[in-house]
Structure 1
Amino acid sequence: MLQKRVARTRRIALIGLAGALAVSMSACAESERDGSGGDGSGGDTLVFGAAGNPKNFDPIFNDDGETFRVIRQMYDTLVSYKPGSAEVVPGLATKWVPNEDGTSWTFTLREGVKFHDGTPFNAEAVCFNFDRWHNMSGAAAQSQMIYYGDVFGGFAKNEGDATGDPLYKSCEATDETTAVLNLNEPKGAFPDAFGLAAFSMSSPEALEQYNADEVTQSGDSFSYPAYANEHPTGTGAYKFESYDPSQGTITLVRNEEYWGEKAKTAKLIFRIIPDENARKQELAAGTIDGYDLPNPADYQSLRDSGAQVLVRPVNNILYLGINQEGNPKLKDVRVRKAIEHAINKKQLAQNKLPEGATARDQFVPKDLNGYTDAVEKHEYDPDKAKQLLAEAGAENLTLKFYIPTEVTRPYMPNPQEIGGAVSDDLKAAGIKVQLVPRPWNGGYKDDVQKLGKHDIHLLGWTGDYGDPGNFIGTFFGREKAEFGFDNPEIFTALSEADAKVTDPEAKKAAYEEAAVKISKFVPAVPLTSSPPAIAVKEGVQGLVPSPLTDERFHTVTKG
């Protein structure tokens, strides 16, 4: 069994504010004003309030929810997720069959599908995309190919901090509608992970014409070529028209040749409005038709005003990260257990999180295989926390507690309030806390990935697909700077669980066993889960909230 040890920075989260643009986009947008009243929100135009700028529009180079929200409208993947669930359904492939040991997947592809540039989608195009990702090198390989690293491990030729064994072996186009993907070992994330937006199918001709792989690096910044910035070319229900960063607008237009249900609106505009309260005001004024992550405190007032609050099924977790390299005392499991005993999770969920939030005692969501009541539970008990600290000789424990600012997440609507509540609980158990607030896109994301930089921190996760490995495998499957621990027993347990592709019951049992080991080791503290929502105007119909944040807009109409 190949052990994955990819020394790459784990992506921080799936949904929320995008990072600052690393490159100035040159595409000029037409004004979103049209003849329907001057605000671009007429019946044939849908305007959605986005929380942040996109990084670029090449799926493989992205890892944040604001960018993926746009990408999902322009691109398709081999498999899709049933609207409103994590169930895998046909996408560009109508059928997918693994071989006996899960090291080969045969895809039967839809016929007659075309990319936005008119070139055919076929098996050769599928293999071109997989070969492209596998053969990435230089700055392109280092540039936020986080999903590829998480799922496929290393590259054909590892460079820089990519050191893992590659999962990908080859791809064969046996005929126009049959692509065979060969792997070096089985992967339990499949077939679900084939539906990740990062693995969307791009036009091979457009990739080559617009120099898609010519990424350049300057320090920690990357600049992206014309394909990513101006010519994204997929098979999706909408096509790219323009992006004007100065006006904060992304404009997509209906793909009249779409293979599936044609978009109900001719134009889809994303208006970038970073402030959540400003998005609320724009919705009330009628200048946008919807926005994501309304403040839970505003749910009722939004409903009273006639807006709809569409609540997603829960598929996320907020956790307290513990960096064992940040403070030597954190290497003692008694100290880590004391931290968990000190936190009143139920009160946190009730007072600081949206309606329907719940306390968590493990990292696997309740509806996924791998969830088990057999985990070791560390209930709220300040006296027990003090006892464990005393046993570990850590009565005078002081922790640097990093808290993000200038950010809203579905699992963390107000990080400073949440951080304050957790800090108060820790102090009540005798732990001294030094709060370190840092801007989300101004140092926080980097700081919490550095060994020794911090002691504890707030982060969370929204699931990408319906597999337990997407949670505990992503978090604890290998050495990570965020947690700073080395536990071969946990690494092996997760690797073995991930390899059980063709035996669902064995896979379920293996992940349950891994979850128990993790609960006893306490590499981090699971805190809460929350049901995030989308707010839309009264007449908007057809938007289905997804537990994966995989909402599609081509089915949406406006009354």
Structure 2
Amino acid sequence: MTTRLSLIAALLLSTAAAASAAELRIGLENDPDTLDPDRSRLFVGRIVFTALCDKLVDVNEKLEIVPQLATAWTQSEDGRSITFTLREGVKFHDGTDFNAEAVKANIERSKTLEDSVRKSELASVESVEVISPTEVRLNLSAPDATVMAQLTDRAGMMMSPAAFAEGKDFASAPACSGPFKFVSRVAQDRIELERFADYWNAEAIKLDRVVYLPIPDTTVRLANLQSGDLDMINQLAATDIPAVQGNGNLRVEQVTGLGYQGIYFNLANGPQSQNPLGQDARIRQALNLSIDRNAINQVVFQGAFPPAGQPFPPDSPYYNEAYAAPERDVEKAKALLAEAGVATPVNIELQVPNRPENQQTAQMIQAMAAEAGFNVNIVTKEYATLVSDGAEGSFQSHTKGWSGRIDPDGNLHQFVTTGAGFNDGHYSNPEVDRLLNEARTLTDPAQRKERYDAAQAILQQDLPVTYLYYQAWLYGVDAGVQGFKPYPDGMIRLQNVSDAD
């Protein structure tokens, strides 16, 4: 009898412990494409990496660069090198040590891995020099004002070299040094992480587990939040703000973001570029002028997503008023099509993610463009598939969002320079390359802006990308979740976040 009572007591204690384990369930708008920072292209992947992979440096709420795995750094007088002092006693999730050799291995992998999309972000890094186990130097081919900003994102994420050694698939068993370690992943269903006991800043981590659930439909995400099956949802639809605010068990968190939504055109990436839209800038200009961005903002986003005409938001010092969002001009659009000598309606294919707000936006563009002489065929795809197909050139045009970066280079260079990682349409203009590469080497904001203005003058004519709206970050959050602070970069940081439920 005593043995049985002891067994029952043990089971009850075990059940109570399991019940008290703090788990945060986060609904994401897409499923990450890969859990390898060097290969990752999707925004939602960055959210998961924020919990999984610490970086050399991070940003605070004011977008100032602050220490993370590097505690200090100095730049040489000629701007050709940056020396980092590394945090001591840091472990990767697989138990191996984080040190200068690990930094060297990570940076070199980002630069040399065949399908790395970090190459253009670290193009100026000529070599990595290990000075001591806690000191490492990046030697640059030329001064580069963008490197520190790049290291606050995936280019600066530190993975265990043992986990990406030859023959190993890092994405299937990722091991970094962040506050949470990988448990499991079921594609299109969930990603599960658990608290890393040896995390260097363990006292700031209040949660035991984090589960990310991809739910593309905003209505379904909200329903799961309302039912209590989720504790937080990313990308709350603007139209759902009143429903969340009217629910005493929920709240809205929001912050102005750095990114934008645009239409990207295939100009030279395979056979699908061989059509009037891809081969004649006047056709793209006509489509651009057929769109009423103000109407999209009001109808789809309840006025929360301002119209865009360039990659820099209005509060950026690099914003140029001359390239503000264009007003709709159907007659000018028709004139451009007539000048191009194409038969109307011009048939074009527009690929869009399978999210309601993207589909609504595409439907409005379809109706607006029809008045100017276009027949827009909307093709809906899961977002990771859309991105993958874009990289392979399997598109005429597609809409994609960009979460934005703290340095202006991050909002433009990798989309429009020759051979850059996100230049899916294979746009190439030597003068644009020259101007944007020069802007990277300058530290004076006025001089950098001159280059960006000159590049934009060309890009506004060639139009490899047309911008639709700037994004705000909107979150639906359960009232029991405490300590969450939204950041302008859109990342969900879990330090000091707790869940009372």
Normalising by structure 1, we get a TM-score of: 0.77
Q: Deviations over 1:37-77 (max 9, x none)?
A: 98x6x573322234454555443232223333222212211
Rounded Cα–Cα distance in structure 2 between residues aligned with 1:479 and 1:202: 26
Aligned residue number for residue 320 of structure 1: 263
Determine the C-alpha separation between the residues in 2 that align with 1:447 and 1:397.
Answer: 26
- The reply to whether residue 113 of structure 1 matches residue 90 of structure 2 is yes
Is the Cα contact below 8 Å between 1:340 and 1:379 reproduced in 2?
A: no
2:11 corresponding residue in structure 1 = none
Change (3 A) 1:85 1:455: same
| Match for residue 69 of structure 1 among 31, 47, 62 | 47
1:490 aligns with 432
Offset of residue 191 of structure 1: 0.8
Worse-superposed segment, 472-481 or 419-428: 472-481
Unpaired stretches in structure 1, ≥5 consecutive residues: 1-33, 154-166, 216-223
Q: Aligned letter for 1:518?
A: L
Judged with a 3 Å threshold, the aligned counterparts in structure 2 of structure 1 residues 55 and 471 are, in CA distance, closer, same or farther, namely closer
Q: Decide which moves more: 304-313 or 480-489.
A: 480-489
1:415 has 2:358 as partner: yes
| Equivalent residue in structure 2 for 1:184, among 141, 149, 153 | 141
**Counterparts of 2:303 and 2:17, CA distance in 1:** 36
Contact 1:399/1:433 (8 A) holds in 2: yes
Task: Report if the CA contact (8 A) 1:356-1:531 is conserved.
Answer: yes
Residue 125 of structure 2, aligned match among 148, 151, 168: 168
1:229-272 deviation digits (Å, cap 9, x = unpaired) = 23x33222223344466973513124354236430123333345
1:126 paired with 2:126, answer no
What is the aligned partner in structure 1 of residue 344 from structure 2? 396
In structure 2, what residue type is equivalent to 1:549?
Answer: G
Alignment of 1:5-20 (within 5 A): none
SS of the aligned residue for 1:371 comes to: coil
Amino acid of the structure 1 residue aligned with 2:444: D
| CA–CA distance in structure 1, aligned partners of residues 222 and 188 of structure 2 | 22
Residue equivalent to 1:476: 416
Q: What is the alpha-carbon root mean square deviation over aligned residues?
A: 3.0
Residue 213 to residue 550, structure 1, CA distance change in 2 (3 Å): farther
Instruction: For residues 109-153 of structure 1, give each alpha carbon's deviation from its aligned partner in whole angstroms, at most 9, with x where no partner exists.
Output: 2233333344433222222322343443xxxx23xx21x123134
Alignment of 1:43-58 (within 5 A): 44-58=22-36
Distance 1:320 1:53, change over 3 A: closer
SS at 2:241's partner residue? Answer: helix
In the TM superposition, residue 179 of structure 1 has moved relative to its aligned partner by: 0.7
Percent identity for Structure 1 against Structure 2 = 28
Q: Does 1:95 align with 2:36?
A: no
Q: 1:330 deviation in Å?
A: 5.3
Shift of residue 428 of structure 1? 1.1
Aligned pairs for 1:31-50 (under 5 A) are 35=15, 42=20, 44-50=22-28
Judging by fraction of residues, say which structure has more helix: 2
CA contact (8 A) 1:254 1:262 kept: no
1:285-310 CA-partner distances (Å, limit 9, x unpaired): 22321121222222111221221111
Conserved? CA contact 2:221–2:233, under 8 Å: yes
Please give the alpha-carbon distance, in whole angstroms, between the structure 2 residues aligned to 1:293 and 1:50.
7
Give the aligned length: 479
Instruction: Give the corresponding residue for 2:239.
Output: 297
Secondary structure of the corresponding residue to residue 191 of structure 1: helix
Q: Deviations over 1:414-459 (max 9, x none)?
A: 2222111112111112x131404142358533544555x6543322
Contact preservation (8 Å) 1:321, 1:483: yes
Query: Counterpart of 1:237 in structure 2: which amino acid?
Result: P
Aligned-residue offset at 1:538: 0.9
Q: Answer yes or no: is the 8 Å Cα contact 1:363–1:526 preserved in 2.
A: yes
Counterpart position of 2:167: 214
In the alignment, residue 474 of structure 2 is paired with which amino acid? A
Counterpart pick for 1:380 among 301, 307, 328:
328
Change (3 A) 1:528 1:275: closer
Gap change, CA 1:355 and 1:149, over 3 Å in 2: same
Equivalent in the alignment of 2:10: none
Give 2:288's aligned amino acid.
E
Alignment of 1:258-337 (within 5 A): 258-259=200-201, 261-273=203-215, 275-306=217-248, 307-324=250-267, 325-328=273-276, 331-337=279-285
Aligned letter for 2:285? K
Q: Which one of 513, 527, 541 corresponds to residue 468 of structure 2?
A: 527
Q: Give the Cα–Cα distance (whole angstroms) in 2 for the partners of residues 322 and 272 of structure 1.
A: 27
> SS state of the match for residue 94, structure 1?
strand
The alpha-carbon distance between structure 1 residues 281 and 485, as it changes in their structure 2 partners (threshold 3 A), is closer
TM-score by length of 2: 0.85
1:379-435 Cα shifts (integer Å, max 9, x gaps): 2111222223333333625131223242x3xxxx52222111112111112x13140
- How many Å separate the matches in 2 of 1:305 and 1:509? 49
